Homo-oligomer: A and B are copies of this chain.
Amino acid sequence: MDRHDVLTVSEVARRSGFAASALRFYEDQGLITASRSTGGRRRYERNVLRRLAFIRAAVNIGLTLAEIRVELASLPDSRTPTKADWQRISRHWRTRIDDQIGALERLRDGLDSCIGCGCLSLQRCAFSNPGDIAATTSEAPGAAYLPSGLRRAQPAG
């Protein structure tokens, strides 16, 4: 139990790849926890790294932080995910990715059929009016259908 068992903000930041400000933000949001030193500094337990890896993975899948909080909270005793937890959840995520791929494939197929016709009719064109995915008009403001990260296009080549 020497001091290698606790980690500072900068250590966790370096080893997790998250910015220190993000770590504080996640703590605010209840995604991770930290104890404090006598001087009020954050002291992270080693397992926070695994928890952050989980968060990173969930973000990659496309979960919102709110959803991630729910997933973490759903773990028995709100514990940091074990191997078994992780396997259960990752199977669930796998389904989610498959769904996303399916949606993109439908979009692509719609596009293919439109390349032929070139109509872009609001009423008829399956591509400009893909009602099976979601209505832009509903839900929260801002935010589109598709990737924002994947969207950033080809940086080189």
Q: How far is the CB of A88 from chain B (nearest CB, A)?
A: 10
Q: Is the CB of B120 within 8 A of A17?
A: no
Chain B's closest residue to A108 (CB) is B97
Tell me whether A152 is interfacial, beta carbon within 8 Å.
yes
A90 contacts which chain B residues (CB < 8 A)? 111, 114-115, 127
- Taking the full assembly, how many copies of this chain does it contain? 2
Tell me whether A4 is interfacial, beta carbon within 8 Å.
no
Tell me whether A37 is interfacial, beta carbon within 8 Å.
no
8 Å CB contact of A136 from B17, B100, B151 = B17
Main DSSP-derived SS at the A contact region = helix
Contact-size category for A? 35 or more
Tell me whether A15 is interfacial, beta carbon within 8 Å.
yes
Chain B's closest residue to A56 (CB) is B128
Q: Is the CB of B86 within 8 A of A122?
A: no
Q: Is the CB of B99 within 8 A of A101?
A: no
Q: Is the CB of A54 within 8 A of B120?
A: yes
* Chain A residues near B (Cβ < 8 Å): 15-19, 49-50, 52-54, 56-57, 59-64, 67, 81, 83-84, 86-87, 90-91, 93-94, 96-101, 103-105, 107-108, 111-112, 114-115, 118-122, 125, 127-130, 133-137, 139, 143-154
